[in-house]
Structure 1
Amino acid sequence: MTPRDMASRIVRYGELRPCRTAFIDAHTPGSDQKENFTIIGGGVSESPDQHVHIQIPHGFNIGAAGQPPNCRNSLHSHRTAEVFFVLKGRWRFFWGRRGDAGGVVLEEGDIFNIPTGIFRGFENIGTDYGMVMAILGGDDAGGGVIWAPQVIEDAREHGLVLGENGRLYDTKLGQDLPDGVAPMPVLSEAELAAFPEPEADEVVPVCVARYWDLTALADKAPAKVIGEHGRLRDRPGFEVDFITRASAGATMHSHDRPSVLMPVRGHWRVTWEGGSVTLAPGDTMSVPENLDHAAVPAMTGEASLYHVVGTDDPAGKTWTR
């Protein structure tokens, strides 16, 4: 594969194309400065304006959220796995019907495997623009987002209506629901009762891995982060490894399905028969299936990256006590 062929499978951080109207809370004060990025796969955006950088199916989606300080992503749930790692800034994640069941603060490089079936949200509590990278299970990411009722109600007050077809309509722009399309129904109290409310001390120990702990674990070999034998024991339809300078190897290898490289710190040189490229933090590279390749740090200093590859496992575990 030539470098030109591979260029279409590399998304540079500086070339990410944001969507500022991706979700139902795009006009809601406190959430109206979000930027959503869909890097690999269709994602779960509710807006036709969302740009998809790489549409090749991987068995999972890669996206990102960029937010200024004090900007919040509203409470929602997914039917498949949702995994975040912090690329830039400090973030607070919270969960529960009202967002008060539990919470955790993540620093750069930390990773959070949020169980399916619970409402979750997050906000930038740092002092500068921040970015979190997201991995969503499945090629269709479970068919969209399930919003907490108050999010739908608040959005309507600010002009945005979500149709049952999963599309947004902006009444401030004169848009109405098309004929035959009803508003997305609000969950009933009986339906809401099925969403668990785990406390922080139940979730954090089994769902959060800290960057510096993973760095220590990856001193001789890549650290298994998410997977059957991972630090976070789950099988959500993909596996995540963490690689550092100490555990990187120059031996060529391949996978039987596409894999993704996502640098966290440092510059990484990826080589394959036919070319090479250097990746920086925030870049995303899709490596084709059955392509021999290797990734090693390109410069001195700290270097780390997350590696993602799909599996045949289902969407991931729903939270159970």
Structure 2
Amino acid sequence: MNKQTLIDSWNEYVAPSQALSPEEMAKRVARWGGIPASPRAFVDTYVKGHERTLYSVIGSGVTDDPNFRPSIAAAENFHVDYIVAPKGCGAAMHWHDSEEVFVVQAGRWELDWIDGATGKTHTITLGPRDTISVPPFVHRAFRSLDGDDPVTGGMLVSVLGGKTPGRVMWDAALAEKAKAVGAGFGPDGMAAQAQNT
């Protein structure tokens, strides 16, 4: 290409910025000490081995806790959460109706998934800054291999696609374990555990 064509091409690639005041931008900042956290964000957290804390950073994402709100409410087609779990703990097998990306922030994590064509479960180990993208409707589970300190142990970042992600769908094996400890869903679809368990 000649020089003038390249110079002229800029006419189609320059545009002004949308208005955004410092006050509006401040609503879009999540500071670590102020990010809402829930140890009961999902029904599987009532089952031993699935303990973890979910930090809701951007967007409503998906949760079974009706009082859990994100630090940054505005989300345009994605949701971000931090996940911190004790060593050996993490999410049970589940799927979402949208893509989910995991980025290891600290520690090592294992991610399992079920191949629906064969019924086989596969495992992959991820280290710091490794990233994996799990397609919609594929059962996945994950667990921390290094403990629950978000700096020296394990922290996983979850980015869930979609403007309004649907509910989490769980593997039947989790349903049986949750029933055994009296955990299920109330009329509002939120997780609960019977008081007498």
TM-score range, shorter chain: 0.7 to 0.9
Deviation at 1:31, TM superposition (A): 1.2
1:149 to 172, 175, 186: 172
Name the residue aligned to 1:257. Answer: none
1:267-298 Cα distance to aligned partner (Å, 9 max, x none): xxxxxxxxxxxxxxxxxxxxxxxxxxxxxxxx
Q: Which has the higher contact order (CA 8 A, sep 6+)?
A: 2
2:156 to 113, 119, 132: 132
Deviation at 1:138, TM superposition (A): 0.8
Whether 2:46 is the aligned partner of 1:27: answer: yes
Question: Does the Cα contact within 8 Å between 1:19 and 1:49 map onto a contact in 2?
Answer: no
C-alpha RMSD over aligned residues: 2.2
CA distance in 1, matches of 2:115, 2:132: 19
Name the residue aligned to 1:85. Answer: 103
Question: Does the Cα contact within 8 Å between 1:62 and 1:133 map onto a contact in 2?
Answer: yes
1:7-47 Cα distance to aligned partner (Å, 9 max, x none): 22110223222111111112111113x10122111111011
CA distance in 1, matches of 2:186, 2:115: 22
Name the residue aligned to 2:134. Answer: 114
Moved over 4 A (4+): 97-100
Tell me the SS of whatever aligns to 2:103. strand
Q: Which runs of 5+ in 1 are unaligned?
A: 175-321
Question: Does the Cα contact within 8 Å between 1:41 and 1:55 map onto a contact in 2?
Answer: yes
Question: Does the Cα contact within 8 Å between 2:78 and 2:162 map onto a contact in 1?
Answer: yes
Tell me the SS of whatever aligns to 1:122. strand
Write the letter of the residue equivalent to 1:72: G
* Sequence identity percentage: 28
2:182 to 148, 159, 177: 159
Name the residue aligned to 2:33. Answer: 14
CA distance in 1, matches of 2:145, 2:106: 11
Structure 1 length-normalised TM: 0.50
Question: Does the Cα contact within 8 Å between 2:82 and 2:155 map onto a contact in 1?
Answer: yes
Tell me the SS of whatever aligns to 1:74. coil
1:299-314 to 2 correspondence within 5 Å?
Answer: none
CA distance in 2, matches of 1:16, 1:89: 20
Write the letter of the residue equivalent to 2:193: D
Counterparts in 2 of 1:48 and 1:127: CA distance versus 1, 3 Å: closer
CA distance in 2, matches of 1:119, 1:26: 17
CA distance in 2, matches of 1:2, 1:164: 41
1:110-132 Cα distance to aligned partner (Å, 9 max, x none): 11001222110000012553111
Structure 2 length-normalised TM: 0.79
Tell me the SS of whatever aligns to 1:72. coil
Counterparts in 2 of 1:162 and 1:65: CA distance versus 1, 3 Å: same
Write the letter of the residue equivalent to 1:18: A
Write the letter of the residue equivalent to 2:30: V
Write the letter of the residue equivalent to 2:58: I
Deviation at 1:57, TM superposition (A): 3.3
Write the letter of the residue equivalent to 1:50: F
Write the letter of the residue equivalent to 1:167: M
CA distance in 2, matches of 1:102, 1:164: 35
Question: Does the Cα contact within 8 Å between 1:22 and 1:49 map onto a contact in 2?
Answer: no
Write the letter of the residue equivalent to 1:116: P
| Count of equivalent residues | 172
